[in-house]
Amino acid sequence: MFTDHFHDDLALFSDVLLGADAGPSKTAIPARALTDPARLEPLLVQFGEQHECTEPRARASQWSKYFFARLGIATLVAQLATDQALAFNLDNLHIVCDDDNTTSQFVFVQGAALHPERPGHDFSALVDNAFAPVVATLAQQCRLSTRVFWSNAGVYFDWALGELERQQRIPPERLAAVRALMACRQRPDGGFNPFHRIHKRCPPGTLDGNREPVEQCRRLCCMRDLDSRWDLCSNCPRAMHRAEPDRATG
């Protein structure tokens, strides 16, 4: 639906948003299923089995990353490229899952996908109508703080914005409007802004989990290492460390 607007590393997300006439290659299910614990739980369990993860909080957090990355990144690109907000409604949206039951595509099954009266830097529908119901269900189901899931969402959103800034294909005033949004505790409409303060600054000389110099890291740990299947993410605040000084020899 917005394929032509995705370039370089963002091209991986070019087929995430589909119109009703696109005909996804796999069976689509109502997106509302993600807010029904009885329907969401099998997706999480099967995801855990595929990845040999049995800890409920770890698998829910890791599963959520695919949901937030694919929907959040695709929405950011589509909205800024068209300068129109997407009209999200879980009752008018279907999802397609990959073999491990992570969400891979989102199908607008009826009506116009774009909201004619809201600009592209308005992400209130994404946050309130798509993300928030799923976050609430995940948090209740696995007994993990909603702050962890919102942090997962914000990290990918921030990464994608950085990619768009690097590519310089989007008008700079649209990119600046999103950066301004991320600097505010609340959205302009007074609503919750999950993209605020996603990262924190690191002291000079800090190395990340890959032992690479880093200036910032995510503010909250995703808690995936609650299961021994996964280590800390390289940008996890708990993975940050200072370089050890060289020791004199001889």
What one-letter code names the amino acid at 82? T
Assess whether pLDDT exceeds 90 at residue 121: yes
Q: Which of 127, 135, 134, 145 is nearest to 196 (CA)?
A: 127
Q: Average of pLDDT values for 119-126?
A: 95
Considering the chain, what is the average pLDDT of its residues? Answer: 92
Number of neighbouring beta carbons within 10 Å of residue 34: 21
What gap in Å lies between CA 27 and CA 25, rounded to an integer? 7
Q: Residue written as tokens 């009703």?
A: 20
What's the mean pLDDT in 123-131? 96
**DSSP letter, residue 244:** P
The answer on pLDDT for 133 being more than 50 is yes
φ, ψ dihedrals at 213, nearest 5°:
-60, 140
Mean pLDDT of 130-158: 96
pLDDT tops 90 at residue 112 = no
Distances in whole angstroms, Cα of residue 124 to Cα of each of 39, 79, 97, 116, 215 = 26, 12, 25, 14, 30
How large is the average pLDDT for residues 150-157? 97
What pLDDT sits at residue 111? 67
pLDDT at site 25: 66
Question: Which pLDDT band, with edges at 50, 70 and 90, does 113 fall under?
Answer: confident
- Give the separation between CA 146 and CA 137, rounded to whole angstroms: 9
Mean pLDDT of 83-91: 93
Per-residue pLDDT at 250: 44
Start-to-end Cα distance in the chain? 66
- Whether residue 100 is predicted with pLDDT greater than 60 in this model: the reply is yes
DSSP assignment of 191-221: -B-TTTT-EEE--TTEE-TTS-B-SEEESS-
d(CA 226, CA 112): 42
Work out the average pLDDT over 148-169.
Answer: 97
Q: Which of 24-28, 32-36, 239-243 has the highest mean pLDDT?
A: 32-36
172 pLDDT exceeds 60? yes
Question: What distance in Å separates the CA atoms of residue 249 and residue 172, rounded to the nearest whole number?
Answer: 53
d(CA 104, CA 71) in angstroms, rounded, equals 8
pLDDT in tens, 201-213: 999 999 999 999 9
Q: Is the pTM of this model over 0.85?
A: yes
Token match 């990845």: residue?
Answer: 51
Here the tokens at position 42 are 């099998």
Burial class of residue 232 (count of CB atoms within 10 Å of its CB; 0-12, 13-18, 19+): middle
CA pair distance 33, 89, nearest whole angstrom: 13
